[in-house]
Structure 1
Amino acid sequence: MISATRLLCQKYTDLTDAEIAHIESYNQLIPALANAERADVFVDCRTSSGRSAIVVCEAKPQTVPSNYHSTILGMLIQWRDEPAVDRSFRLGVPTVGVRAVSMPEDRRIVQSVEPIFWEERLIGVLIYERPAVAVEALVSPEEQETEENDLDWAAVSRYVDDAVLFLDEKDLVCGFNPAAEALYRGMGYTGALMGMPASNIQPSTLEECDGERHESSMVNRVLQYRTVPVPSGKAKTALIIHDMTGQRKLEQELAFQRTALRELRHRTKNNLQMIANLTRSRSYEADDPAAVQTALLDTANRLLSLTATLDGIVQVSLEKVSLLQVLEQIRKYTLQTLMTPAKSISIRVCGEDAQVSADCATSVALVVNELVQNALKYAFPTGTVGTIGIELHSGRPICKITVWDNGVGFQKEKTRPGGMGLELAATIVREKLTGEWSVESGPTGTRVSFDFLEQ
């Protein structure tokens, strides 16, 4: 029988059969580790896209309560949520004692991470997670004062804005300034800095003091490292760390602004082409004035569905929009443009939100708008009371949307006015969203569902 670990690795990663077999072997090891370490133990592997990791092995301790009420096997992990995992994957080194948040319980935990190699290739990480407890001081004032008496740098380093850590002959921290303490607390480290190995606080041990700056990125920090020799005293090397996070963030925002106009032009062109295709598919309705009016209203509502992805209320970051808010905007625009006093139809939006790219949201908005328009036109004869529902199911990474009504239904095998628009919406799902499409219809109503990758 194929294990869940192998199925997950085959579906979500680019690991070879031999590498997957090595990962599978951890299923026999980690239950004992969980009990011995009194911690939840997991193995994460990087997904094929490289934008996340996935939990492929798990073990809960029997000696202490677990941090999790249910299994998280198969859960996709975002780098921003687990900086220790991100660091070990990026650098291929162990990371000890970093704060994180357990998903989906949203509990504060402390992680330690060990890289897993197969024939010199990093294929996964072994993770220990314990509940976060009150963090002890990095070093007592008495210890700090004692160390300062042995080192010449103390009087100066206190007034340096950059983090300064001093390493002894064994590459262990033998002193640091307040900026270093603040930096590492902000990065989530919980252990004492004094005595910490250099390998746990910098990207890699620098064998010589070259004086050059070396930059490294983690989930929540961009740091610039520089080592310089210390000519006398207890310390052998001074590690100077400059936090570049704010500067790099500003540079990213400026780069985003420079490309925004190009992206907007490209997106507008694509959207107008889709609108032209949708309008062309309904051109047969222009046989009489009433049909012309209906076609114009339909086109207006499609344009409004596109503007829903540009509304400030739906924007959650520079690159992502709230899909649930986009659907709510479509509901509002539909009620404003297509509803008349003669129609007693309500439209409901519900579900778990998902954050997607604007391009993805645009395609989803066009499809949903088309489905709602079809329901308004054909599901309810004049004067009929009814309901249209729009449901969003976020499965991470697969989202699913269902548009349903409790109208009269239709026979799928028979063409009818509007069928071409429905077909074009299905084409958008298959070609733009790379999703699957299904239609169920009968005397009690119609349900149209489609899924797509949350991107």
Structure 2
Amino acid sequence: MNVEYQVTSFLEDIEGWKFVLNSLPDLIAILNHKYEIIWANTAMAECLNTSPDSCLGVRCFEAIHGTKLPVDNCPHAKMMMDNKGHTEEVYEPNLGGYFMVTAAPIKDKSGNTLGSVHIARDITERKIMEDKIKNSLQEKEMLIRETYHRVKNNLMVISSLLDLQARYIEDIETQNIFRDSQNRARSMALIHEKLYQTTDLKWINFANYIKKLSMELFETYSGQSNNIKINFDLEDHELDTETSIPLGLIVNELISNSLKHAFPDGRNGIIKIKFYKDGGKYVLIISDNGIGFPEDLDYKKSDSLGLRIVNSLVDQIHGEIDMDRTQGTKFTIKFP
């Protein structure tokens, strides 16, 4: 007689199945429709500090929970209502910790539910580890938030120092250099402020950021932008920090450039900002209907610090930039 036949023959006998179930570390019990235990394996009985025979006829909620009625999340009660299996995570001090409890219906040949088989797996160690990991993640989240908050504050301090220093400078061109540096610091501070306020600490809604940054720049150049309007056409997309920070500086440079140079002598004008996703790339378009970019100036080889920053940051985000001078100035930036 081969081994496979021996095992099959052994399991055909009820005592064979009991032997197998008693060998498992999971707590196993069979209940009838009255919640009475009609069979329990050794692990279940030992967990209740009794013997398997002493469990028989005892209602499960009395034996396990010490209550007179089923508990609220009782999987057996749910199963009796819809004749379907249910799994619940349960904390039961009488059993010594956390358990994942599954109740599966036992049906006769006609499909009538006679009771259920309960399997409870001890997950106490896993829960302890989960709690440790959760606490550790919360501590790291607090640390990251505090870092963002401090970086934002430090950048705002730098911006304020630049502003104070600029007040002692009489040369207008030098003042503008300080103002540009101040705005760059503020644009990065705003990114860190947004990150501090988000729930996941890595992604920000770039459309909201563009709006706030643009309005702050308008306030900075209020003396030059009373007759300038701004139009937004922005899709809601979440960008990560590695893209948001350089892209925020790009937006800062291009909008500042339009506000400073596109509308001389107080003339009226419109600045348009468009942001959307096209296939596998994002597209950012910043345009104005001002006097236009000088024809003799190559924006990719300009000595202007602002344009050099823009070109460098476009490369940093693995993007490409194009300029159109047909109606004012229009910069189109595409990046993955």
- Mark yes or no: TM-score above 0.5: yes
Q: Is the 8 A contact 2:151 2:189 kept in 1?
A: no
Task: Specify the alignment match of 1:148 in structure 2.
Answer: 35
Task: Specify the alignment match of 1:192 in structure 2.
Answer: 84
Secondary structure of the equivalent of 2:310? helix
Aligned counterparts of 1:299 and 1:372: Cα–Cα separation in 2:
14
Q: How far 1:340 sits from its partner (Å)?
A: 0.7
Q: How far 1:252 sits from its partner (Å)?
A: 1.2
Query: Using a 3 Å threshold, how does the CA distance of structure 1 residues 399 and 415 change in structure 2: closer, same or farther?
Result: closer
- Asked if residue 386 in structure 1 is aligned to residue 269 in structure 2, the reply is yes
Task: Specify the alignment match of 1:410 in structure 2.
Answer: 293
Greater per-residue helix proportion: 2
Query: Using a 3 Å threshold, how does the CA distance of structure 1 residues 146 and 329 change in structure 2: closer, same or farther?
Result: same
Query: Using a 3 Å threshold, how does the CA distance of structure 1 residues 267 and 413 change in structure 2: closer, same or farther?
Result: farther
Q: Deviations over 1:348-380 (max 9, x none)?
A: 333112222334322111000000011112222
- 1:426 counterpart (300, 311, 315): 311
Aligned counterparts of 1:346 and 1:355: Cα–Cα separation in 2:
26
Query: Using a 3 Å threshold, how does the CA distance of structure 1 residues 411 and 341 change in structure 2: closer, same or farther?
Result: closer
Task: Specify the alignment match of 1:284 in structure 2.
Answer: none
- 1:296 counterpart (178, 190, 203): 178
Secondary structure of the equivalent of 1:401? strand
Query: Using a 3 Å threshold, how does the CA distance of structure 1 residues 226 and 155 change in structure 2: closer, same or farther?
Result: closer
Percent identical residues: 18
Task: Specify the alignment match of 2:323 in structure 1.
Answer: 439
Q: How far 1:301 sits from its partner (Å)?
A: 1.7
Query: Using a 3 Å threshold, how does the CA distance of structure 1 residues 235 and 397 change in structure 2: closer, same or farther?
Result: same
Q: Is the 8 A contact 1:322 1:356 kept in 2?
A: yes
Q: Aligned partner of 1:311: which letter? A: E
Q: Is the 8 A contact 1:323 1:356 kept in 2?
A: yes
Match runs of 1:335-354 below 5 Å: 335-340=218-223, 343-354=226-237
- Asked if residue 255 in structure 1 is aligned to residue 130 in structure 2, the reply is no
Q: How far 1:300 sits from its partner (Å)?
A: 1.9
Aligned counterparts of 1:177 and 1:429: Cα–Cα separation in 2:
61
Q: With structure 1 as the length reference, what TM-score do the two structures score?
A: 0.44
- Asked if residue 305 in structure 1 is aligned to residue 192 in structure 2, the reply is no
Aligned counterparts of 2:197 and 2:145: Cα–Cα separation in 1:
14
Q: How far 1:387 sits from its partner (Å)?
A: 0.8
Q: Is the 8 A contact 2:271 2:286 kept in 1?
A: yes
Q: How far 1:415 sits from its partner (Å)?
A: 4.4
- Asked if residue 374 in structure 1 is aligned to residue 267 in structure 2, the reply is no
Aligned counterparts of 2:224 and 2:331: Cα–Cα separation in 1:
26
Q: Deviations over 1:2-44 (max 9, x none)?
A: xxxxxxxxxxxxxxxxxxxxxxxxxxxxxxxxxxxxxxxxxxx
Q: Is the 8 A contact 2:290 2:329 kept in 1?
A: yes
Q: Is the 8 A contact 2:149 2:196 kept in 1?
A: no
Q: Deviations over 1:41-62 (max 9, x none)?
A: xxxxxxxxxxxxxxxxxxxxxx
Q: Aligned partner of 2:229: which letter? A: S
Aligned length: 246
Q: How far 1:312 sits from its partner (Å)?
A: 5.2
Q: CA RMSD in A?
A: 4.6
Query: Using a 3 Å threshold, how does the CA distance of structure 1 residues 225 and 235 change in structure 2: closer, same or farther?
Result: closer
Q: Is the 8 A contact 1:346 1:386 kept in 2?
A: yes
Aligned counterparts of 1:451 and 1:192: Cα–Cα separation in 2:
53
Q: Is the 8 A contact 1:314 1:325 kept in 2?
A: no
Secondary structure of the equivalent of 1:349? strand
Query: Using a 3 Å threshold, how does the CA distance of structure 1 residues 253 and 349 change in structure 2: closer, same or farther?
Result: farther
Aligned counterparts of 1:394 and 1:401: Cα–Cα separation in 2:
9
Q: How far 1:260 sits from its partner (Å)?
A: 5.0
Task: Specify the alignment match of 1:21 in structure 2.
Answer: none
Q: Aligned partner of 2:179: which letter? A: L
Aligned counterparts of 2:322 and 2:333: Cα–Cα separation in 1:
6
Q: How far 1:179 sits from its partner (Å)?
A: 3.5
Aligned counterparts of 2:99 and 2:323: Cα–Cα separation in 1:
55
Aligned counterparts of 1:349 and 1:224: Cα–Cα separation in 2:
54
Aligned counterparts of 1:234 and 1:192: Cα–Cα separation in 2:
10
Q: How far 1:309 sits from its partner (Å)?
A: 1.2
Q: Aligned partner of 1:376: which letter? A: L
Q: Aligned partner of 1:367: which letter? A: I
Secondary structure of the equivalent of 1:407? coil
Match runs of 1:211-226 below 5 Å: none
Q: How far 1:303 sits from its partner (Å)?
A: 1.8
Q: How far 1:258 sits from its partner (Å)?
A: 3.5
Q: Deviations over 1:128-174 (max 9, x none)?
A: xxxxxxxxxxxxxxxx86172345572158749xxxxxxxxxxxxxx
Secondary structure of the equivalent of 1:382? helix
Q: Aligned partner of 2:254: which letter? A: L
Query: Which runs of no fewer than 5 residues in structure 1 stay unpaired?
Result: 1-143, 161-175, 185-189, 203-212, 214-222, 228-232, 280-286
Aligned counterparts of 1:394 and 1:405: Cα–Cα separation in 2:
21
Aligned counterparts of 1:315 and 1:248: Cα–Cα separation in 2:
23
Aligned counterparts of 1:246 and 1:325: Cα–Cα separation in 2:
35
Query: Using a 3 Å threshold, how does the CA distance of structure 1 residues 312 and 420 change in structure 2: closer, same or farther?
Result: closer
Q: Is the 8 A contact 1:302 1:366 kept in 2?
A: yes
Secondary structure of the equivalent of 2:33? helix
Match runs of 1:48-447 below 5 Å: 146=33, 148-151=35-38, 154-156=60-62, 159=65, 178-179=72-73, 192-193=84-85, 235=117, 237-241=119-123, 244=127, 248-260=133-145, 289-311=171-193, 315-319=197-201, 320-340=203-223, 343-394=226-277, 398-411=281-294, 414-415=297-298, 419-431=304-316, 433-442=317-326, 444-447=327-330
Query: Using a 3 Å threshold, how does the CA distance of structure 1 residues 384 and 251 change in structure 2: closer, same or farther?
Result: same
